[in-house]
Amino acid sequence: MTKLTTVGMKWQLLVGAILVFITGIVLFFGTEHTDMYFAWTINPPLLTAAFLGAAYLSSFVLGFLAAREDVWARARLAVPGPLIFTILMLVATLLHLGRFHLNSPKPTAVLFTWVWL
C-alpha cells in the first residue's frame, strides 16, 4: 500500500521552500548588504554570503519538488536535512546572539533579525 503525502505536509514543505528561497535571494544577490537586509553581518560578504545564498536556493529546489510529490516515500527525502540544519542553526543562533542586529540603528536589519528569530 502506497502512503500519500498529506496536504498538511505538502503545505509545510512549500512554506519551508518559500522561506529558504527568500533567504537565498537576500544572501545571494545582497552579499554586500547583509548589514541591512539580514539578521547579522556576514564577512567576507562575497564568498560567505553568496555561498550561503546558493545553498539556500538549492534547498528551495529540493523543498519545492518534495512539496509537489504525491507519494510520501519520495517526498520524505526532503525532511531530515532541513530538520538537522534548522536544529544546528538554532544552536548557532543562541550561541552567537550578540552578533545579531537586535539593537541596530537600521530598522530593516532589526526587522530581519526578528524574522530570523
Average pLDDT over all residues of the chain? 90
Confidence at residue 15, expressed as pLDDT on a 0 to 100 scale: 94
Mean pLDDT, range 53-76, rounded to an integer: 94
Task: Find cell 560567505 and name the residue.
Answer: 48
103 vs 117: CA distance, rounded Å: 14
Does 21 have pLDDT greater than 90?
A: yes
- Predicted TM-score of the model (pTM): 0.82
Task: Write the DSSP symbol of residue 100.
Answer: B
Confidence at residue 1, expressed as pLDDT on a 0 to 100 scale: 75
Confidence of residue 75 (pLDDT cuts 50, 70, 90): very high
Confidence at residue 4, expressed as pLDDT on a 0 to 100 scale: 94
DSSP lists the bridge partners of residue 4 as 71
Confidence of residue 45 (pLDDT cuts 50, 70, 90): confident
Contacts of the segment 53-57: beta carbons below 8 A, 24+ positions apart: 53/23, 53/24, 53/25, 53/26, 53/27, 53/28, 53/29, 54/24, 54/28, 55/24, 56/20, 56/21, 56/23, 56/24, 56/27, 56/28, 57/20, 57/21, 57/24, 57/25, 57/28
